[in-house]
Structure 1
Amino acid sequence: MTSPSSFQLLAAPVTAFDADGGLDIIATGRLFAFLRDAGVDGVFTPGTTGEFTALEDGERLAVIETALEEFGPDRTIAHVGAASARQTARLAHAATRLGATRLAAITPYYFPAGEQALLEHFRRVTDAVPDASVYAYVFPPRAVTTVAPETLARLAALPGMAGVKVSGLPLAENLAYLDVIPEGFEYYSGNDADIVRLAAAGAAGVVSGVSTILPELFVQVTRVIRAGEDATALQAEIDDAVAASASADIGVLKAGLAERGLAAGIPRISIDPPSDAQLARAHQTLSPHRAART
């Protein structure tokens, strides 16, 4: 378990695109700089919120390189995961050549992997980058591969595995994972709403999509946690931020960034645009921050 005094806030930023849907690496860099200046501890990129499944390999590496320029290798977890170990290992090797030392890889997806296949997948990745710290990225609702707590414990024992990031699961399942991981294995959750409870349970930190548009709130919460003070008084604001972002809906996040003077374009993935009600809710929550970048 990790002490709350070292609890970390990692942002899970969107990837910016231009009007034609091309990668806008300049705007992506501006977003990273905005998050850095707001006080987040680092970034996990390009992840699900960063639309990694819609990025070409070269684009993913460009995003990683830009994150490294803004945050450095210690504060960047570069996501190189792919459906196959072969592609993941290739991206991992390329990311380390750019200077990345902390790499995340989502579990195999589309076809669900059993325990043997999962362990072999990550063994091939860690073998490809023996000097890097590798983090498994577990997201069952998206990747369709489930990881039982006992399987995570076996995964944690592989040489080169430094930690895990878990998304899309309720607090109870996060706690079940925390009960089995070995000492020193870093546990990050993508569950923004439970940041206070996760810190109390010994998580290393959160990887927050919502902090993309409201970093100030999540930085404040993290500082309160690290100071050993009671952060539960901020829970209502956290819940409001999560609701206003439609639980980090990519379209809502990009619209919210526009409210803050940061262009990110529209999603490249095929999702419905935000509803008028979602946009109105985001506008109301972000209104006090609208002038921050204008």
Structure 2
Amino acid sequence: MTRPLVYSAVTTAFGQDGSLDLASTRRLFAHALAGGVDALFVNGTTAEFPALTLTERQALLAAAVEVAGADRVVAHVGAASPYQTAILTADARALGIRKLSVLTPFYMPSAIDGVREQVSAAVHAAPDAEIFLYLFPDRTGVQLTPAEGAAIIEEFDLAGAKISIAGTDYLAQLVAALSSPRTVLSGNDGLLREVVAAGGAGVVSGVSSAIPAPFAELADAIGEGDQDRQQSIAARVSEIVPVLGPSIAALKIAQREQGLIETAVCRMAIDIPDERWVAKITHVLATASPETSSRVA
């Protein structure tokens, strides 16, 4: 069986004052790659992209290329406007990045014509790129049926899609609606086996930016067809994802406690985990990485 893909949606490190910490973010990039992920998904939701300037997003892409090489970077170029999306797309291509992800419009109400305009901006700025349609209706408010999503992908001859929708039903329906094979990825990083069974090519995993190895190991086991190993690793993943997955703040606490970042500061207004949640993070780190000391305060 073909080994599924694991792209790591990496957080952005900030200083105590909220300023961009590129040195720590580089460590996060290297950490994810060392854990076995296939590529870095940069400037996505997990990276708090709405709170980043265009210049900061370009700097983060440049840092990712330095660490991973352009072929192992997926640049999220979605923005609130097609104008900004075109600028971000040009920035990514100037760095040699060919894999791009375009979020649908957000904040202002938008239907399928607005999505076409957004995607068209990226396609015209980088006609030679591999572009993925990024669907996250809970954050954007943009609702496309699976058939509409498939139609956009085929109209613009996109490489595929990144779907952040709970479960795997939508993904399966979109895959079925496509007339030719495309790379369809899910943001449900705790469901890699289920995503593959639904016709997906892999996951874009935010949790892997803190603890990457189990996700890469599960992908290996699926590729090898090793059912017993899959079951064992999937059980580990199912313990990690519910603790770290719901919150960028939780991810950053886990990253800080591994010495990857200096602070767990989020630039966006994100609720901080309470003491009980922090205790669960401590337990997950101890189980996933026994050498990690328990320094959570």
State whether residues 123 and 158 of structure 1, in contact with CA within 8 Å, keep that contact through their aligned partners in structure 2: no
Give 1:50-129 correspondences, 5 Å limit.
Answer: 50-129=47-126
3-state SS of the aligned residue for 2:239? helix
State whether residues 260 and 291 of structure 1, in contact with CA within 8 Å, keep that contact through their aligned partners in structure 2: no
Matched, 1:255 2:237: no
State whether residues 43 and 75 of structure 1, in contact with CA within 8 Å, keep that contact through their aligned partners in structure 2: yes
3-state SS of the aligned residue for 1:136? strand
State whether residues 152 and 181 of structure 1, in contact with CA within 8 Å, keep that contact through their aligned partners in structure 2: no
5+ residue gaps, structure 2: none
Shift of 1:147: 1.4
Q: Which residue of 1 aligns with 2:291?
A: 291
Q: Which residue of 1 aligns with 2:271?
A: 272
2: CA distance, partners of 1:264 / 1:12 = 19
Shift of 1:97: 0.7
Shift of 1:90: 1.1
2: CA distance, partners of 1:282 / 1:182 = 43
Q: Which amino acid aligns with 2:130?
A: S
Name the stretch that deviates more: 74-83 or 260-269.
Answer: 260-269
2: CA distance, partners of 1:264 / 1:142 = 28
State whether residues 81 and 105 of structure 2, in contact with CA within 8 Å, keep that contact through their aligned partners in structure 1: yes
Shift of 1:236: 2.5
Q: Which amino acid aligns with 2:81?
A: S
1: CA distance, partners of 2:109 / 2:139 = 11
2: CA distance, partners of 1:241 / 1:110 = 32
Tell me the TM-score normalised to structure 2 length: 0.93
| Per-residue Cα deviation, 1:229-278 (whole angstroms, up to 9, x for no partner) | 22234332222111221x24110000001121111531000011111111
Q: Which residue of 1 aligns with 2:281?
A: 282
3-state SS of the aligned residue for 2:291? helix
| Per-residue Cα deviation, 1:92-149 (whole angstroms, up to 9, x for no partner) | 0111111111111110001232112212321232011112111111000001111111
State whether residues 46 and 79 of structure 1, in contact with CA within 8 Å, keep that contact through their aligned partners in structure 2: yes
2: CA distance, partners of 1:33 / 1:44 = 13
Name the stretch that deviates more: 50-59 or 92-101.
Answer: 92-101
3-state SS of the aligned residue for 1:142? helix
Q: Which residue of 2 aligns with 1:19?
A: 16
Tell me the TM-score normalised to structure 1 length: 0.93
Q: Which amino acid aligns with 1:238?
A: V
State whether residues 168 and 190 of structure 1, in contact with CA within 8 Å, keep that contact through their aligned partners in structure 2: yes
1: CA distance, partners of 2:253 / 2:199 = 34
1: CA distance, partners of 2:166 / 2:176 = 15
Give 1:80-229 correspondences, 5 Å limit.
Answer: 80-229=77-226
State whether residues 193 and 242 of structure 1, in contact with CA within 8 Å, keep that contact through their aligned partners in structure 2: yes
State whether residues 80 and 88 of structure 1, in contact with CA within 8 Å, keep that contact through their aligned partners in structure 2: yes
3-state SS of the aligned residue for 1:69? helix
2: CA distance, partners of 1:290 / 1:51 = 29
1: CA distance, partners of 2:70 / 2:208 = 20
Shift of 1:22: 0.5
1: CA distance, partners of 2:213 / 2:188 = 17
Give aligned pairs, total: 290
Shift of 1:31: 0.9
Q: Which amino acid aligns with 1:158?
A: E
1: CA distance, partners of 2:184 / 2:66 = 25
3-state SS of the aligned residue for 1:95? helix
Name the stretch that deviates more: 233-242 or 141-150.
Answer: 233-242
Name the stretch that deviates more: 52-61 or 173-182.
Answer: 173-182
2: CA distance, partners of 1:44 / 1:181 = 24
1: CA distance, partners of 2:25 / 2:134 = 22
Name the stretch that deviates more: 232-241 or 97-106.
Answer: 232-241
5+ residue gaps, structure 1: none
| Per-residue Cα deviation, 1:188-232 (whole angstroms, up to 9, x for no partner) | 100012111112222111000111121111111111011122223
Shift of 1:158: 2.9
